[in-house]
Amino acid sequence: MTTLTDDQKRDLEAAAFRRLVDHLRDRGDVQNIDLMNLAGFCRNCLSNWYREAAEADGIALGKDESREIIYGMPYEEWRARHQTEATPEQQASFQDNRPKDH
C-alpha cells in the first residue's frame, strides 16, 4: 500500500470532497430526503460539518454561508429551483431511518 504524508492525505481528501460537492450540485434532481433515507446524510449535513470544521479552526462561518458553499448558491434559491414536496413514503422512511442527531 502506498504511504501518504499527512499533507497528501489532506489534499486528496479535499479533492474528493470537492468532487462530491460538485456531483451533488449537478444532481439537483436528487432530494435531500432521498440522500438521508439512503445514506444517512444530505447536503445540509455536509454544510453543518463544514461549518463545524471552520468553527473548530476559529473561523466564524454562519449557517447560511456554509450552505451556500455546499449548494453553490443561496439555500433558498436552491430550494426554489430543485426541492419538491416529500412524499408520505419518503417522510415515513425518514422517520424510520433518521439518524439520532437529526
User: What is the CATH number for 69?
Assistant: 1.10.3340.10
72 within a domain of the structure (yes/no): yes
Q: What pLDDT, on the 0 to 100 scale, is given for residue 102?
A: 54
Asked whether residue 74 is domain-assigned, the answer is yes
pLDDT by residue (tens digit) across 81-91? 999 999 999 99
Domain containing 76 equals 39-97
Q: What is the pTM of this model?
A: 0.88
Is residue 81 situated within a structural domain?
Answer: yes
Q: How far apart are CA 69 and CA 47, in angstroms?
A: 7
Position 57, amino acid? D
Give the count of domains, the chain.
Answer: 1
Write out the H or E segment, with its range, that includes residue 96. Answer: helix 88-97
Residue 9 lies in a domain: no
Q: Is residue 25 part of a domain?
A: no
CA 91 to chain centroid = 19
In a domain, 12, yes or no: no
Tens of pLDDT, residues 18-49: 999 999 999 999 999 999 999 999 999 999 99
Contact between 74 and 66 under an 8 Å Cβ cutoff? The reply is no
Quote the pLDDT of residue 98.
76
